Amino acid sequence: MKISYCSLGCKVNLYETEAIINEFVGKGYQLVDFDEICDVYIINTCTVTAMADSKSRKMIRQAVKKNPEAVVAVMGCFSQLNAETVKNIPGVDIVIGTSNRRQLIGLVEECIIKRQQTCSVINYQQIKEYEELKIKQFSHKIRGFVKIQDGCNNFCSYCIIPYARGTIRSRKPEDVIAEIKLLTEQGMKEIVLTGINTGTYGRDFTDYCLNDLLGEIIKNVSNLGRIRISSIEVTEISDELLTTMNENKEHICNHLHIPLQAGSDSVLKRMNRKYNISEYQAKIEKIRKKFPKINITTDCLAGFNGETEADFQSEKAFIEQMNFGEMHIFPFSPRPNTLAYTLDQPVDAITKKRRVNELLALNHKKALEYRRQFLGEILEIIVEKNENGIAFGHSNNYLEVEFPSLMAKPNDLIKVKITEADYPISKGSVVHES
């Protein structure tokens, strides 16, 4: 039977989808492109914004329209919080949320025989244990995402994800290490540690944390290439973690994604973030003292309720100081059932759009400034694709680079001299060893 999938949202979703598809392929199902007509469609949904909700509904309906006779299974954060809505979409056969994913293959095979709708969604407060989903191989061989934890205890006022994912649960270190060994043995040159709140890894264990896990990975995975931390809160970056990064530069990428979200203390407080501007700045300065050329990327929300023009101008000034290598900028989208949904002083749509555009312009300026320091330097690039003799890939510090090469193949590690610093893609030329 033919199966296809659509995975929306974050890298955790991507990992979980890959793990489930691994199971189906292992049972003899043929994986095809989502655009093809097939027998089973898996849609892993997202609910981080209203737009994500809309896209989730769109992809579900698209699958049903492609083949009304197919089994359509919906999982993920949108279905976790909107099970009844998903159940009522004509053509949906199976609804699960952010747990019970290991049941999916059995539910699909039962549905093929009985053709009865099934809904297996439990309340997030009942999700207490990490659900082990194993990946035997990725559908691509370039960058392997390895999930190390699930859930978040922060409950930022704007964020719906703790209600969809539950509180923190960490994956057993031995399972993480075994999976990384398997992926690196298959030739994967970069592993990305990912989770809903990656930096809290091990908090539900006794005397064990992300830094301990990194140490064990480096010690026990003999053919380890790069290891990248997908995203980490500024409050979770310890001195010990920075020491481990410094002692293992050949493995741990010179790149950290550290969400900022807002550039004024009053807005951070309304967001229920766990730091203030001076604390954030002090930690970034400490990191840069150890790693002067590190690429620090971030997230910013524009137009949060109560954000005044003075707050916004303070944020821009702060961003100028921080010299981020890249910012992901989102207009604030109030999510039902979060504290922020009830906050007063909403920012009007025109002002919100202007602030987004100003931050995008500032991002372009700062990203260019960061990249220009690498002009003339030689960086190692893992090739991700080659289109008509132009290869593309990322460096250790997450610069996207293109360079001419007829020989470069996906997953090759190639030394490239940066000849043109640009954003989002810099240009380079292959350095031939003499």
CATH number at residue 26: 3.40.50.12160
99 in the same domain as 193: no
pTM above 0.75, yes or no: yes
29 occurs within a structural domain: yes
C-alpha to C-alpha distance for 106 and 123, rounded to whole angstroms: 21
117 in the same domain as 43: yes
Find all residues with CB under 8 Å of 36, minimum gap 6, and list them: 2, 4
Q: Which helix (H) or strand (E) element contains residue 170?
A: strand 169-170
pLDDT at res. 432: 82
What radius of gyration, in Å, describes the C-alpha atoms of the chain? 22
pLDDT at res. 433: 65
Read off the pLDDT of residues 310-346 as tens digits, 9 standing for 90 and up. Answer: 999 999 999 999 999 999 999 999 999 999 999 999 9
Token reading at 132 = 């082990």
- For residues 301 and 338, is the Cβ–Cβ distance under 8 A? no
232 in the same domain as 168: yes
289 occurs within a structural domain: no
134 in the same domain as 77: no
- For residues 95 and 103, is the Cβ–Cβ distance under 8 A? no
265 occurs within a structural domain: no
349 occurs within a structural domain: no
| Boundary residue ending a domain (253, 288, 307) | 253
Using DSSP, state whether 7 is helix, strand or coil: strand
pLDDT at res. 143: 87
- For residues 83 and 65, is the Cβ–Cβ distance under 8 A? no
113 in the same domain as 52: yes
State mean pLDDT over 161-167: 95
297 occurs within a structural domain: no
Long-range Cβ contact pairs of 129-134 (< 8 A, separation 24 or more): 129/169, 130/169, 130/170, 130/171, 130/172, 131/99, 131/100, 131/101, 131/102, 132/102, 132/171, 132/172, 132/175, 133/15, 133/16, 133/19, 133/20, 133/101, 133/102, 134/19, 134/22, 134/175, 134/179
Would you mind telling me the total number of residues written for the chain in this entry? 434
27 in the same domain as 105: yes
The sign of the CA dihedral 418, 420, 423, 424 is negative
Tell me the residue type at 10.
Answer: C
C-alpha to C-alpha distance for 42 and 188, rounded to whole angstroms: 26
pLDDT at res. 209: 98
| Boundary residue ending a domain (253, 281, 308) | 253
| Boundary residue ending a domain (64, 92, 122) | 122
Read off the pLDDT of residues 108-158 as tens digits, 9 standing for 90 and up. Answer: 999 999 999 999 999 888 888 999 998 988 777 788 999 999 999 999 999
- Domain of 23 in residue numbering reads as 2-122
Half-sphere exposure of 272 (CA within 13 A, CB side): 11
Mean pLDDT over all residues of the chain? 96
58 occurs within a structural domain: yes
Domains in the chain: how many in total? 3
Q: For the purposes of burial, counting CB atoms within 10 Å of the CB of 250, is it exposed (0-12), middle (13-18) or buried (19 or more)?
A: exposed
Read off the pLDDT of residues 223-233 as tens digits, 9 standing for 90 and up. Answer: 999 999 999 99
Read off the pLDDT of residues 270-295 as tens digits, 9 standing for 90 and up. Answer: 999 999 999 999 999 999 999 999 99
150 in the same domain as 44: no
C-alpha to C-alpha distance for 351 and 60, rounded to whole angstroms: 33
pLDDT at 434 over 60: no
132 in the same domain as 118: no
Say which CATH number the domain at 211 has. Answer: 3.30.750.210
Q: Tokens 């604390």, residue? A: 279
Neighbours of 22 (CB within 10 A): 18
81 occurs within a structural domain: yes
292 occurs within a structural domain: no
